[in-house]
Amino acid sequence: MSVAKEQIQPEKTFTFTNDQTGEKWTFPVIEGTMGPDTVDIRSFYEETGMFTLDPSFTSTASCKSRITFIDGDKGQLLHRGYNIKDLAEKSNFMEVAYLLLYGDLPSREQYEEFRKNITYHTMVHEQLQFFFRGFRRDAHPMAIMCGVVGALAAFYHDSLDISDPRQREISAHRLIAKLPTLAAMAFKYSVGQPFVYPRNDLSFAENFLHMCFAVPAEPYKVSPILADAMDKILILHADHEQNASTSTVRLAGSSQANPFACIAAGIASLWGPAHGGANQAVLEMLEEIGSKDRIPEFIQGVKDKKYRLMGFGHRVYKNFDPRATVMKESCDKVLAELGVKDPLLEIAMELERIALSDPYFVERKLYPNVDFYSGIILKAMGFPVEMFTVLFAVSRTCGWISQWKEMMEEQSNRIGRPRQLYSGAQERDYVNLEKR
């Protein structure tokens, strides 16, 4: 791999000064291969007796990673150095999953072997289907996913030894392979149809669509347009640096928890509407607005902070979300090829137009993110809104497990243990109940 190692520059340091006492503390600055320099404050508490406060990690690097790079001002997203646009246009999800997991694009031989490994792990233990029956039919599929993915640890004992690299690899393959099967089962369960087993002659995206939309009563032919769009959606969601769910996976993994439990934790974090749940929230918002003439009223409500414009804004991207650009192109193509005329799309386009020109959104650098368009494509494909975040989880699993694998391969892997700025009561005497 031609990636230079990040290094501590002995000549680069950063000095903190206590304005009251004039005391100074100097810390090394670490230079990454790209992105801002980073002050190494690991000994900050030991040396100064103080903590630093950064509750939502706006200025804190939680780890070193070689997997994904984002430059939010330029709207740049690279996986192992490869531009997301190139990957979405020229690669496929299996290749991107390999790239994230192993660091380089595969040779033909490596690709075939990886594809075969994933394909032959797509079936889930037959007993797992009984878990689904424990859920109500109207259960949110993300609730089901939190449960059944965590439950995988109860079925695959032979890959739970996290100190063994081969077992870690098998777990990674199992997770990437079985997530679509479990997601499709959650979907089938919600619509009361029989589960459809995976098919080894189909690609990853085709197999997923087949498991979701085939029924035993008649043959189902996967549309190449939909398979291509699904593959793009999977690529665009595959990894995104240290976002909330990935950080959750890493933090869970830092306690030496097994990978299935860690990914279940990631799924729980992804579910929230500020994160992966936004794709569902976008569609619900468009439905709530209902018609173009209600947009000004809605926009005013956003400005009055009654609600947020879902699918807009990003903690890191302050220019544009490069995933959204590709997703929009894909969205236009799918809708045109399927001949779908969705009135919600018109509302979406008008919202986008207003938000991109209104000073309120421009000043706050609020641009459409990937979730603004993905829901529209998924709806056109026939998925109900509740499935949107599940699809995100299917794809992001390869990013999560690559990040987990990278963390487990590090020599010193200490448990993550944030500290706090305590603002509660000071020590006080206990008062008996009758005296309170």
The catalytic residue positions are: 314, 371
∠ CA 59-271-294, rounded to 5°:
95
Long-range Cβ contact pairs of 23-31 (< 8 A, separation 24 or more)? 30/6, 31/6, 31/7
| Nearer Cβ to ligand CMC (206/239) | 239
Residues near 207 by beta carbon (within 8 Å), at least 6 away in sequence: 119, 122, 180, 198, 199
For residue 266, state whether it binds ligand CMC (rule: CB under 6 A).
no
Segment interacting with ligand CMC, rule: CB under 6 A, options 18-26, 206-214, 309-317, 335-343: 309-317
| Nearer Cβ to ligand CMC (165/296) | 296
CA gap 234, 140 in Å, rounded:
21
Sort residue 382 into left (φ over 0), alpha (ψ -120 to 50) or beta. left
Distances, alpha carbon 286 to alpha carbons 203, 219, 282, 338, in Å: 33, 34, 6, 21
| Nearer Cβ to ligand CMC (371/406) | 371
| Nearer Cβ to ligand CMC (174/237) | 237
For residue 308, state whether it binds ligand CMC (rule: CB under 6 A).
yes
Burial class (CB in 10 A: 0-12, 13-18, 19+), 308: middle
Segment interacting with ligand CMC, rule: CB under 6 A, options 126-134, 261-269, 273-281, 342-350: 273-281
| Nearer Cβ to ligand CMC (298/404) | 298
For residue 315, state whether it binds ligand CMC (rule: CB under 6 A).
yes
| Nearer Cβ to ligand CMC (115/275) | 275
Binding mask 387-406 for ligand CMC (x = CB under 6 A): --------------------
Please name the amino acid found at residue 105: L
For residue 274, state whether it binds ligand CMC (rule: CB under 6 A).
yes
Please name the amino acid found at residue 114: F
71 — phi, psi (to 5°)? -110, 105
For residue 275, state whether it binds ligand CMC (rule: CB under 6 A).
yes
* Tokens at 254, concatenated: 């830092």
Q: Nearest residue to ligand CMC, using CB?
A: 313
Q: Which of 243, 246, 395, 403 binds ligand CMC (CB under 6 A)?
A: 243
For residue 239, state whether it binds ligand CMC (rule: CB under 6 A).
no
The interface with ligand CMC within residues 348-367 (CB under 6 A) comprises 364, 366
Which among 254, 204, 240 has a CA at the least distance from the CA of 394? 204
Task: Report residue 75 CA to chain centroid gap.
Answer: 17
Residue 12, CA atoms < 13 Å, CB-side half-sphere: 12
Least Å from the CB of residue 305 to ligand CMC: 6
Counting every residue written for the chain, the total comes to 436
Q: Which of 180, 276, 322, 399 binds ligand CMC (CB under 6 A)?
A: 276
Least Å from the CB of residue 265 to ligand CMC: 16
Binding mask 24-63 for ligand CMC (x = CB under 6 A): ----------------------------------------
Q: Which of 370, 377, 380, 391 binds ligand CMC (CB under 6 A)?
A: 370
* Tokens at 331, concatenated: 């969205």
Residues near 353 by beta carbon (within 8 Å), at least 6 away in sequence: none
* Residues near ligand CMC, by CB under 6 A: 243, 274-276, 278, 302, 308-315, 364, 366, 369-371
